[in-house]
Amino acid sequence: MQKGSCCDLKRNRQGRIRKKRRLGRVLLLGAVIAGAGWAVWSFLPNFDREQPEWRTVEKPIFIEGKWSGYHAVGSGESLKLPLSLIRESIHAYAYEDPDGETAILTTANELLVMAKDGKTAESNGKAYALASPLQEEEGSLYVPVEPLERLYGIRIEEQSPAGSVVVLRAGDRFRSGSAVDGGLFGSPKLRGDATLKAPIASELEAGTKLRVWNERDGWLYAQTADGSSGYIRESEVQLGQEEQIPVPETAPTAASREWADQKVNLAWEAVYERRPDPEVIEEMQGVNVVSPTWFELKDGAGNIRSKADSAYVGRAHNRGKQVWGLFSNSFEADWTREMLGDYETRANAIRQVLDEAAEYKLDGINLDFENVYTEDKAPFVAFVREFTVRARQAGLTVSVDVTPKSNSEMWSAFLDRRALGETVDFMMLMAYDEHWASSPKAGSVASLPWVEQSVSRILEEDEVPASKLVLGIPLYTRVWTETEENGEVKVSSSAVGMETSQKLVDENGAKRELLADVGQNYAEYKEDGALKRIWLEDGESLKRRIDLARKHDLAGVASWTRSFASAQAWEILQTVNEK
């Protein structure tokens, strides 16, 4: 190879090396510049500004520092809040009657009814003067703030006749504060999120008063007096005292005081065409409440039928027993819907039942509504709240009957057990008819595991206090008849009381067997070629049910029905209040 060629190769190789070095330096410089740019970008805040949606709304309403999506009307004494907002965010039991012209506000002890454009409302049946009437605007009802402040303990801060309205609810907690100098980047700022990269919601001056609602990762969620809200760095706020809006005191109900040291031991008295002899009161030893089925709905206008008997009440009172008259809807779904659908018809039914209670000197009312359309769930709660307030005003204890939770539309799904539990003094769990009269399969009326599951679901899922839940106990069972037709088992049943079922077992020489899985004695025998099966309600099952009520510290027991009981049943029921 020639010498010149070797030199050329060497020069070419050195050139390539120099190019690679220059490229490396360029790439390194680019990386340094990019890194520096990223660092600067990371350090620099977002200077973009966002316009809150509420800025275009007149009198926007704020709750917990956030726009509620609603606006108020009026100002000063005539300021009003939308009823929908009140129900959603202030009190769940403030509601509109289906007529669209009546607003109803309730607490545990007060029922306030306002008609559109009326200068006077009705509070617990008495006239109540309003500073400003209920108003309708764009299809929505607006409620004056004065009764809201009194009933629910809210506070209102109105910025100006057209400015923001801040609603502070009873129990709300927050801290006062003021903005301080923003440092390197100027004035302190509220941002849309807890990061410098969030757009600016509002620029503040040092000293601007703030209400601080919560803290997140070194940022505070705060609001100014004009409604502006957002996140501000903790270093830009001088924090003051923590404050809490007082919660109105609720006096204990008469029932909660009266039953604080004893359990309810109730027996229902099924009353049909013939009045029971008051002498039957003497049978029910240990029972402290009797509940005769005296009152029932007789039409959709809220009129009732009464079978009340002063002699029965007198004998019960003489024996130290309270009388809680039962009021049923006659299991008539259409009448019930019509009655529940309007405040006036609900009030008519309530008035008639309470008049009867006063005339016969009753101590309470037991509400037993069954076979109700699922769509009437909310109207039924409204009725029970209205009934309870007026009944308590009359010195009565109110209880409501509920079935165990199931998918049955007309017998279970319509019951809002949580709302009812928040309303009444006691809730009677009718823990029977696990296998009902026309059940396709024979079985226990109320097996112990099924009963306990029914109790637990209401305590846990619906959060009904144990101190309000009363366990319903069956004093009856079913005699199941199984026959075989064309290779299929046909099942039928008849309900019998405790003594009758025992007699059938004894007369037919059947052997009793304690079934651990259901907690009851079981017997079977043949009659005319058919298999007879009985899951017995006897002393054994009754003791276990009372023990279950004690285990969950329930408010007591309620037995259906007096005429089905045996002498042994009353002896065992006497133990309900034993310590």
Whether residue 360 sits in one domain with residue 390: yes
Give the Cα separation of 290 and 324 in Å (integer).
6
Looking up tokens 């299929």 gives 488
**155-158 sheet: strands from edge to edge:** 66-71, 60-63, 165-168, 155-158
Per the structure, the count of domains in the chain is 3
Residue 520, in any domain of the structure: no
Written as one string, the DSSP assignment of 100-138 is SSEEEEE-SS-EEEEEBT-SEEEETTEEEE-SS-BEEET
Q: At what angle do helices 343-359 and 377-393 cross, to 10 degrees?
A: 40
Q: Which residues contact 499 (CB under 8 A, 6 or more apart)?
A: 566
Residue 519, in any domain of the structure: no
Whether residue 66 sits in one domain with residue 93: yes
Whether residue 276 sits in one domain with residue 392: yes
Domain boundary among the residues 199, 224, 244 is at 244
User: Which one, of 131, 129, 152, lies nearest residue 83 by Cα?
Assistant: 152
Residue percentage of the chain with pLDDT more than 70: 92
Residue 41, in any domain of the structure: no
3-state helix, strand and coil shares in percent for the chain, rounded to the nearest 5: 35, 30, 35
What SS3 class is residue 89?
A: helix
Give the Cα separation of 61 and 159 in Å (integer).
11
Q: Encode pLDDT of 386-436 as tens digits.
A: 999 999 999 999 999 999 999 999 999 999 999 999 999 999 999 999 999
Over residues 85-109, mean pLDDT: 96
**488-497 sheet: strands from edge to edge:** 488-497, 476-485, 530-535, 520-527, 513-515
- Residue 121, pLDDT score: 97
User: Residue 231: which H helix or E strand, with range?
Assistant: strand 229-233
- Give the dihedral sign, CA 256/110/347/358: positive
Residue 39, in any domain of the structure: no
User: Which one, of 166, 147, 170, lies nearest residue 156 by Cα?
Assistant: 166
Whether residue 569 contacts residue 475, with contact meaning beta carbons closer than 8 Å, is answered with yes
Other beta carbons less than 10 A from residue 52's beta carbon: 16
What value does the mean pLDDT of the chain take? Answer: 93
- Residue 486, pLDDT score: 87
Whether residue 336 sits in one domain with residue 415: yes
Domain boundary among the residues 213, 244, 275 is at 244
Give the Cα separation of 20 and 13 in Å (integer).
11
Whether residue 557 sits in one domain with residue 451: yes
Q: How many residues does the chain have?
A: 579
Q: Encode pLDDT of 460-474 as tens digits.
A: 999 999 999 999 999
Give the Cα separation of 416 and 382 in Å (integer).
11
Over residues 39-55, mean pLDDT: 78
Residue percentage of the chain with pLDDT more than 90: 87
Retrieve residue 99's tokens: 């007529």
Whether residue 398 sits in one domain with residue 346: yes
157 alpha-carbon distance from chain centroid: 30
Give the Cα separation of 72 and 512 in Å (integer).
71
Residue 370, in any domain of the structure: yes
User: Which one, of 171, 159, 170, lies nearest residue 229 by Cα?
Assistant: 159
CATH assignment at residue 183: 2.30.30.40
Whether residue 360 sits in one domain with residue 337: yes
Give the Cα separation of 500 and 504 in Å (integer).
6
Give the Cα separation of 566 and 564 in Å (integer).
7
Whether residue 411 contacts residue 403, with contact meaning beta carbons closer than 8 Å, is answered with yes
Residue 32, in any domain of the structure: no
Whether residue 218 sits in one domain with residue 135: no
Domain boundary among the residues 223, 244, 265 is at 244
- Residue 187, pLDDT score: 85
Residue 558, in any domain of the structure: yes
| Antiparallel, parallel or unpaired: β 126-129 and 135-137 | unpaired
| Antiparallel, parallel or unpaired: β 469-474 and 556-560 | parallel
Give the Cα separation of 552 and 550 in Å (integer).
5
CATH assignment at residue 452: 3.20.20.80
Virtual CA dihedral for 395, 332, 407, 341, nearest 10 degrees?
-70
Average the pLDDT over each of 229-233, 250-254, 262-266, 415-419 and give the range with the smallest value.
Answer: 250-254
Q: Is the pTM of this model over 0.85?
A: yes
Whether residue 194 sits in one domain with residue 280: no
Q: Encode pLDDT of 277-308 as tens digits.
A: 999 999 999 999 999 999 999 999 999 999 99
Q: Encode pLDDT of 8-45 as tens digits.
A: 555 566 656 565 566 555 555 555 555 544 544 455 78
- Residue 23, pLDDT score: 58
Q: Encode pLDDT of 328-368 as tens digits.
A: 999 999 999 999 999 999 999 999 999 999 999 999 999 99
544 confidence band (pLDDT: 50, 70, 90): very high
Whether residue 158 sits in one domain with residue 83: yes
Q: Measured over all CA atoms, what is the biggest interatomic distance in the chain, rounded to whole angstroms?
A: 140
User: Residue 457: which H helix or E strand, with range?
Assistant: helix 448-461
Over residues 423-452, mean pLDDT: 97
Give the Cα separation of 548 and 542 in Å (integer).
10
Higher pLDDT, 20 or 274: 274
Q: Encode pLDDT of 216-237 as tens digits.
A: 999 999 999 989 999 999 999 9
Whether 82 has a pLDDT exceeding 70, the answer reads: yes
Q: Which residues contact 468 (CB under 8 A, 6 or more apart)?
A: 421, 424, 425, 426, 427, 555
- Residue 47, pLDDT score: 86
Domain, as residue range, for 201: 173-244
Residue 527, in any domain of the structure: no
Whether residue 424 contacts residue 464, with contact meaning beta carbons closer than 8 Å, is answered with no
What SS3 class is residue 66?
A: strand
